[in-house]
Amino acid sequence: MNTRAILLAPSNDAGQRRLGQLQKLANKNQLVKFDLVDATESQDDIVANCTGADVIIAPNIESSNPICAAIPGLKLLQTFSAGTDQLDKGKLLNLGTRVANNGGANAVCVAEHAIWLMLTINHKFDQQIESVRAGKWSQDVTGPLTEFTTLVDKRVGIIGLGRIGSRVARRLRGWECEVVYHDLVTFDADYEADAGARRVPLDELIATSDYVSLHVPLDRVTRAMYSDAEFKAMKPTAVLINTCRGPVVDEAAMTKALQAGEIWGAGMDVTEVEPTDPNNPLITMPNVVITPHQGARVIQSEWNADLNAVENAERIARGLEPYWVVDPV
């Protein structure tokens, strides 16, 4: 084992368990030795304990930037998350450190979560569950029957047909709805056919979709990309679904659009500020469902992220380029 990889995490039972999982996977090829460095230590102590590391697995938080920038010879900052928006990829790349995300480790469960949000708004599952728990059976479920609907014959517009967006599209194949998409990336015909989605211009997608589902990374291009103009262009019966990052949507504009009836509803696993303000008016709107950024929380996401992290560390050990590198934007 000639490559040292660091897991930057609290030195508690959970951290030790994760370390054990990573090393068990790495033992197969005997290329990488994983160590745990306590993330609760001071920055200077963390950097000192990471000396000699080729790879560090660190969270997508701003404090990871000065730590990784101070580790001489660091080749890869690997994250367990899909997002890398808080990592200074440009500065780190100038220092010789690539930044890689989790390679779609949580793509399936986030796709499932996006569809669950659509169904919950369609059937008001949130109200139904809370009504039963309150001992009121169905008395607290609001709205006429016309507000309850299926996905049949609806158009779902996916913005971003990457690892997560494509899985949303695949899973909607049997729901008897039409799936369209828009992306800055050009995909080949086989990829589109496998996803079961048809490419359309962005303005057409926004104006004609019954559900608009966002699956883009957060960067300087996508921050607040969905704002007043986009909401005004949507159908008044349409629903916005956001399971990527909260700041992709201008939350004030969304609140106004919902209050003005420019759109029907919204389902979100992310908010502009997290945790969101308890007084956020979106929380109490009957046609809005918010979950606390837990769309990736299934055990399979952890297993997949561990596999991908070890694979990338081993690629560094072999002198190969890592997978899933996120370029500065």
Residue 4 a catalytic site member: no
H/E element holding 100?
strand 98-100
Residue 103 backbone class (left: φ over 0; alpha: ψ -120 to 50; beta: rest): left
How distant is the alpha carbon of residue 202 from its chain centre?
21
Residue type (1 letter), 97:
T
Helices (DSSP H) in 227-298: which residue ranges? 228-233, 251-260
Q: Which of 245, 251, 262, 314 is catalytic?
A: 245
H/E element holding 32?
strand 32-38
Helices (DSSP H) in 59-216: which residue ranges? 64-69, 89-94, 107-123, 125-133, 163-171, 189-195, 202-208
| Contact yes or no for 31/317 (Cβ under 8 A) | yes
Q: Which of 123, 170, 293, 297 is catalytic?
A: 293
Q: Which of 223, 274, 318, 321 is catalytic?
A: 274
| Contact yes or no for 207/235 (Cβ under 8 A) | yes
| Contact yes or no for 302/318 (Cβ under 8 A) | no
Residue 133 a catalytic site member: no
Residue 186 backbone class (left: φ over 0; alpha: ψ -120 to 50; beta: rest): beta
Query: In the chain, what's the furthest Cα-to-Cα distance?
Result: 66
Bridge-partner residues for 8, per DSSP? 37
Give the separation between CA 304 and CA 320, rounded to whole angstroms.
21
Report how far apart, in Å, the C-alpha atoms of 119 and of each of 32, 123, 160 are. 44, 6, 20
List residues with catalytic annotation.
245, 274, 293
